[in-house]
Amino acid sequence: MHWTWTRFDELGVRGLYDILALRCRVFILEQGPYLDPDGLDAHSWHLQGRDEAGVLLAYLRAVDPGIKYAEPSIGRVITAPEVRGTGLGPPLMREGLARCSVQWPSASVRISAQARLQRFYFELGFEQVSDEYLEDDIPHVEMLWRPT
């Protein structure tokens, strides 16, 4: 997997298209309609995981601190449907957390996690810091990762 960490203005048309297409396949077609372009992409770092052929298989964005939460936040965490179950999710998140640690040393990272994925994030070192709430009609919880 080849990882790139890029600001929005540096994504290029192809990169942005690939990201939005993957997010649309999963977040809109699989999970139901909602407005994916939420205005936060321009204030984020974008982590892309591409295979040897350049196909985007994994992605997340890290929103700058003070935009969504006081802390930097990771969101839009996604692996392509064709590679789900292959173990790509944990390396994607570990890479994102490592990049956040370099970008914002000593900062905690906050996420709005789908409630069904709490165990996944817990195993990566996140702790639940809110009660369950609905976001886009899906149960979520806020979780926090603190650097060690």
The band of 35, judged by pLDDT with boundaries at 50, 70 and 90, is confident
CB 97 within 8 A of CB 124: yes
Q: Does residue 2 carry a pLDDT above 90? A: yes
CA distances from 114 to 100, 101, 102 (A): 21, 23, 26
Confidence band, pLDDT 50/70/90 cuts, at residue 32:
confident
User: Per the structure block, which two tokens stand in for 148?
Assistant: 């060690």
User: How crowded is residue 65: how many other Cβ atoms within 10 Å of its Cβ?
Assistant: 19
Confidence of residue 148 (pLDDT cuts 50, 70, 90): confident
62 pLDDT higher than 90 = yes
Sequence-ordered strand ranges (E) for the chain: 2-7, 44-50, 56-63, 73-79, 109-114, 126-128, 133-135, 138-145
118-134: per-residue pLDDT in tens?
A: 999 999 999 999 999 99
Residue partners of 128: CB distance under 8 A and separation at least 6: 118, 122, 141, 142, 143
Write out pLDDT tens, residues 74-108: 999 999 999 999 999 999 999 999 999 999 999 99
- pLDDT score of 34 more than 90: no
pLDDT of residue 131: 98
Q: Is 43 helix (H, G, I), strand (E, B) or coil?
A: helix
Looking at residues 65-71, what average pLDDT do you find? Answer: 98
Protein fold of 2-145: Aminopeptidase (3.40.630)
The predicted model scores a pTM of 0.95
Number of H helices, E strands in the chain: 3, 8
